[in-house]
Each structure stands twice: as structure tokens, then as C-alpha cells.
Amino acid sequence: MTAGLADNAAPTAAEPAGKAVEGCPVVECRGLTKVYGEGDTAVHALRGVDLVVEPGELLMLVGPSGCGKTTLISIIASVLDGSGGVCRVLGHDILRMREAEKPAFRLKHLGFCFQSFNLNPCLTAAENVAVPLLIGGWRYGQALARSRQLLEQVGLADKVGVLPDQLSGGQQQRVAIARAFAQEPDLIVCDEPTSALDSATGEKVLGLIRDLTHRSHRSVIVVTHDARIFRFADRIVAMEDGRIVPLPAAASVSAPVLTGHPAPATQA
Amino acid sequence: MLVIALKTLFGHRIKVIGMVIGLAVASLMMTQQPATMLSILGRTYSFIEDVSQPDIWVMDPMVKFVDDAKPLADSKLGLVRSVQGVAWAVPIYRTTTAARLPDGNTANALLVGVDDASLIGAPATMVSGNTADLRRTDAVFVNEEGARLRFAQRLQDGSERPLQIGDVLELNEHRAEVVGIAKTGATFSSQPVIYTTYTRARDYALPQRKTMSFVLAKAKPGEDIEALAQRIREQTGLAAYSADVFKDMSLWYFIRNTGILINFGMITLVGFIVGAVVSGIMFFNFTQDNLRHFAVLKAIGASPWQLLGMVLLQSFLVGAIGYGIGVGLASSMALVSSTFQIKFTPALLAFSAGGVVLICILSAVISLLKVLRLEPAAVFKA
């Protein structure tokens, strides 16, 4: 598993923008704000968020709907502009990064895992996994070979040529996970990855994400409501009304799983 | 990336079929209608093209187009020959006549009398027979289309046989033996064309005091044709035009005095609009259906140029397929039509291809605006 994820050959395309800065946190947000609209109708989605994600850490972001979790990961993932504060990802100031540089930055450093999987129904499982590689300039044959390795690692070696609608929800999410890891990103952003899955499948999927993350020493931010998967986190951060808040009572949040990786103390 | 574009495109078969049909219909209309129009307009000057040797056509000043020949006195021939710079000048005679066929039927035909001595004005290409055979007694040529269609004889078993060498026609109670079948351009009225010598043509036609339709003149080597035409006009009082100018005159007469250009142009425009609307809407719907996947590509890191390439590839591939089918259908329709020959020139095919390219660009631009404005953050919406 580790070898497959670590031995990724370099793509032939031009070097995407930016390199991770050694020794820095993977994510560092200070006083991050996001305001939608103006004047009386302005909605303050983020009200000064401070957050640090360390290398190799699996961080879960929890909180009620509308608390700003998705807005926060959207800004971290550089798919949404922030309004103020600082947000550094791998040492790069996301809020000041030029729009033209963002696609290459995301391609090089970020992986995505979505609530509704977002697999292209016209592409086979292997081709869906190959999408980031093809965007990165890999040749089709090489990309498919790499996709097969990744699908094998997520337990779908026999589903290489299968279309998404012939896969179960759990299998589709595993394909999406393989796609997220395809380019060997430094940070993987998962938005409610288990909400469309039954509990057993959800736990398997999170177990897979944690396994891949820790073996390849990558960082993952998981946005979730699903308390059943809290135990897979290295650290849990709660949000409410656009702010980081103290964690709810232990009754509703299981203790994070402790790993051998250095994880900072749970915030707030 | 292009593989993703192609697989996504062909994953939506129904929409692709709809787009292809729209573009095929547009291509068909944008190819077949202009081709038909050009073929019809080409008939307006086909007689000038068939008579290839002369540089200058001399005629009555009131003539507006080639079928509008007004008889000239034979004495005008000498006047033209006397103009400095004229290498030779010969008469040609054009009139309509009724021909009685071997089976007893009659059909109207265009009768052309060419210079007895030189046979200048006779068709350049013979399907069967030799040009020199026109000097034989009662000899006539018939054009191939006329022999095959209007002059075809109905046999006792009900089948039709084209007019052949050896068949005898009756022209104004004179015997006319077919000694050759000539390949000529079709006439505007689709009448058969009968060629014979100038002298014999006057016998076949109803008696007239003036019989010469045009004088065909050749410039001496090195002579400026337009300058010579001007000299002929000044010295004879007749109209004189180079073959090209006379062709343009005939063409523009028909364009100005018939609704051909407007009518065919409207149908062609309708074809373009229908194709653009149908394909544009379907392509936009196709893109709309795939917006989430475009958003995923943007989120993962696809550049605007890569997305542009994908949309253009999808649009132009559908366009190429539709164009191929449309032009194929237009060609098939032309092939099955035995009575009306349509020519597809490279310029015409380029014209319809340009129309399809324009439709593809319009469709792609509408879709691209949607794709490029798409917020990649949309991927986080369930």
C-alpha cells in the first residue's frame, strides 16, 4: 500500500505552481473570515477562524449545518476566496494566490473526496481515478496503469472497467478515495464522505482513509456530522456560527483515536 | 483530458444523436440548396462556356444575356472582321425549334448553327461521333442530356431508349440525321440542344431576314481583349464583351430578375439557423447536465484552457460527424437525381463547412461561458 502511494512517478506535464514548505504546518489559518453579500444582508460565514493542521494528521471538522465547515474547507482548498485574515496551505498564502495559479496548486497538492462521490458516470472506475493524472498530463495508458494500482489498494481490483452506476455507494466512495490519492497530494479534503453510506460501509471507508493517510503520511481534513466515525480522527475541531468552539460533551463525541503521529492538542 | 471529453460526450448517446441530426440537417440544407442554386445559375452561361474558342462575343447592343440573342444582319460579320486586332470572326446562330422524333413525338429544342467552314462553336467534347461529321449531309449533333431525357423514345415494351447516332429527326419538315452525341452544359430551360452548320440551321429554322445571333471573334496574339472589345464597340456600333464579362452579364441578369438568390439564400439561412438553434440548445443542455463534472475537473485542477479544449473537441467532433452525414446525404440526393445535375465545388463544401464551424463555435461559446463561470466550490454542494 505505502509503496504504491509513495512511488508515484512524476507526471510529464509542467511543474504545477508551488512546493510545500518544509517544517510548516500543512494548514494554518489565523483570523480567517468569509462574508457573503454586503450591508444588511451580509452573511458572516466565518468569523475569525484559527486552525492548524499538522503533517500526517487526520483532522475532523464537526458542527451543525450552516456553521461554516464547508466554507472553511472550500477556502483551504482554494476553490473559494476568503474575505480576511490569513490562510496558509503548505506555506502558500491562499488568500493572496493569483487565480491563475490555483488550478495547478490544487492539482499538485490537494485531493478531494465528496459527499456525493462526484464520479463521472461515463468513465470506468479506473478512468475516474485517472482524472487528476490526465489533467496533470499523464499519458492515458500510464494513468490507467497507475489507476489499477490504486484501485487494488482500495480493494477494487476487480472493478477496474466497471462504470460507477454498477458500483455500490461504498465502492463508489472508495473509487473517489483512490482518485483523491492519485496525484499523491499533501492534503486531502473530504466533505461528508460517509453521509451517503450505511454505518458499516462508512466506517470501512473512514478506516481506509485513515489507513492510506497514515501510511503515506498525508494530512486529511474530514468535514462530518457522523459521530460514528469520530474515533478515526487524530483530532476533532468543532465549529459553530463561523467560529471554532470547544468540543461538545464527551457523550456526543467519542475520544479521537491516538496514533503514533504527533498531533497537537484538541483545539478549543 | 481529451479522452475524458470524448467518453463524456459519447456517454450521452441520445443528446449526441440529436446534435448530429441537427447538424446533419443544417449541413444538408447549407450544401444541397446552394449547390442547386449554383447549378441553376451555371446553366445561365453554360452556352458561353461550351463555345470555348472565341475571346469576344459580339451582339446587338440590346442583348442582356445569352438567351436574349437578337438577330443581326450578316453584313455585321464583315464589320467585325475588319476591326484591327481581330484574328478571325465567325457567325453563330441560336433559335428554338420543334423537333419531331423517330417515334412521332415532338419536343422543343435549342437549335445552334455553327460556322460551316471552321465548325467553331461546335461542342468541344463528343460522347460519340466526331466533330467533322457535322459536315455530312443533314448531319446534326444532339447534346447528351437531351438525347437521354427529352429526346428519349418510348419503345413498344414501354421502356425508353435514348436518341442514338443514326436516328433521324424532322426539323421544320427537313431531315436531320444524328451523327454525334455531344457533352455540353445543361441549358437554363433544360431544352435539348441540336448543333448543325450555320447554313443548314437557317434552313431548319423558320425564314427570317436576319439570322445571325452572335459574332464570335478571336483576338490576335498579344492583343488586349478588353481593348479589342472596346474597339469593336466603337467601330461597329454593336455590343462586344469578353467571354468572362458576357458570362457575368448573363449570370447577374438572372440573379437580378429572378428570386433565385433570395429564395435559395433564405432556405440556406433557415438551415443554418435551425442547425444552430437545435445543436446549440442540445449542446448547452449536454454541458448543463455535466456541469458538476466540469466543476469537479476545475476543483481538481483543470485549467481553463483544458476545459476550453474539451468543450471545443466535443463541439467540433459532433460538427464533423453531422457535416459528413449532411454532405453525404446531399451527394446521395444528387446521385439519384438523373434529370438535374448538381455540382459540389470545393468552394461550396468549404462554405457549408464554414457554416457548421460557426454553429459549433456558437454552441461551444454558449456552453463555455457557463463552464468558465462555474465556481469550483460547487463540488462541495450535495
| pLDDT above 70 for A105 | yes
| A76 grid coordinates | 483551504
Give the CATH number, domain containing residue A167. 3.40.50.300
Name the residue range of residue A122's domain: 2-7+55-79+99-245
| pLDDT above 70 for B213 | yes
A80·B375 Cβ contact <8 A: yes
* Beta-carbon contacts of residue B3 (< 8 Å; ≥ 6 apart): A127, A134, A140
Q: Give the C-alpha separation, A204 to A240, whole Å.
A: 28
B268 and B225 share a domain?
no
B226 and B133 share a domain?
yes
| pLDDT above 90 for B53 | no
Strands B174-183 vs B168-171: parallel, antiparallel or unpaired: antiparallel
Segment A149-159, tens digit of pLDDT? 989 888 888 98
B221 and B344 share a domain?
no
A79·B380 Cβ contact <8 A: yes
B299 and B341 share a domain?
yes
At residue B382 the predicted structure's pLDDT band, cuts being 50, 70 and 90, is low
B206 and B303 share a domain?
no
Shortest alpha-carbon distance between residue B52 and chain A (Å): 60
Segment B248-297, tens digit of pLDDT? 999 899 888 888 888 888 888 888 888 888 888 888 888 888 888 888 89
> Which chain B residues are closer than 8 Å to A73 by Cβ?
380
A120·B3 Cβ contact <8 A: no
**Among all chains, which residue has been given the C-alpha cell 494500482?**
A149
B207 close to B63: Cβ distance less than 8 angstroms: no
A103·B4 Cβ contact <8 A: no
Name the residue range of residue B343's domain: 2-43+259-380
A120·B4 Cβ contact <8 A: yes
Q: Say if B252 falls within a structural domain.
A: no
| Residue among B12, B292, B301 whose CB faces A118 most closely | B292
Tell whether A131 is within 8 A of chain B (Cβ): yes
| Residue among B4, B299, B300 whose CB faces A123 most closely | B4
Q: What average pLDDT does this structure show over A242-248?
A: 82
Q: Say if A34 falls within a structural domain.
A: no
At residue A22 the predicted structure's pLDDT band, cuts being 50, 70 and 90, is low
Segment B165-195, tens digit of pLDDT? 999 999 888 899 999 999 887 777 778 999 9
B118 and B221 share a domain?
yes
Q: What average pLDDT does this structure show over A2-7?
A: 38
What is the percentage of chain B residues whose pLDDT exceeds 70? 99
> CA of A134: which chain B residue's CA is closest?
B1
Q: Say if B53 falls within a structural domain.
A: no
Q: Give the C-alpha separation, A215 to A38, whole Å.
A: 45
Domain total of chain B? 2
B232 and B293 share a domain?
no
> CA of A108: which chain B residue's CA is closest?
B301
B218 and B342 share a domain?
no
Predicted confidence at residue B339, as pLDDT, reads 64
Q: Say if B144 falls within a structural domain.
A: yes
| pLDDT above 60 for A264 | no
Q: Say if B61 falls within a structural domain.
A: no
At residue B224 the predicted structure's pLDDT band, cuts being 50, 70 and 90, is very high
Q: Say if B66 falls within a structural domain.
A: no
ipTM reported for the complex surpasses 0.90: no
* Angle A246-A247-A248 from CA coordinates, rounded to 5°: 115
Strands A235-240 vs A243-245: parallel, antiparallel or unpaired: antiparallel
| pLDDT above 80 for B341 | no
User: What mean pLDDT is reported for chain B?
Assistant: 88
Could you tell me the CA-to-CA distances from B272 to B14, B49, B318 in Å, in that order? 22, 33, 15
Domain total of chain A? 1
B229 and B366 share a domain?
no
Predicted confidence at residue A9, as pLDDT, reads 39
Predicted confidence at residue A248, as pLDDT, reads 64
Shortest alpha-carbon distance between residue A104 and chain B (Å): 6
B379·A79 Cβ contact <8 A: yes
| Segment among A43-52, A103-112, B161-170, B338-347 with least mean pLDDT | B338-347
| Segment among A89-93, A216-220, B115-119 with least mean pLDDT | A216-220
Q: Say if B251 falls within a structural domain.
A: no
Q: How many CB atoms lie within 10 A of CB B258?
A: 14
| Residue among A122, A135, A195 whose CB faces B7 most closely | A122
B267 and B334 share a domain?
yes
> Which chain A residues are closer than 8 Å to B379 by Cβ?
79, 112, 114, 118
Q: Say if A84 falls within a structural domain.
A: no
B345 and B296 share a domain?
yes
B164 and B224 share a domain?
yes
Q: Say if B63 falls within a structural domain.
A: no
Q: Which residues pair with A58 in a beta bridge?
A: A220
Q: Say if A47 falls within a structural domain.
A: no
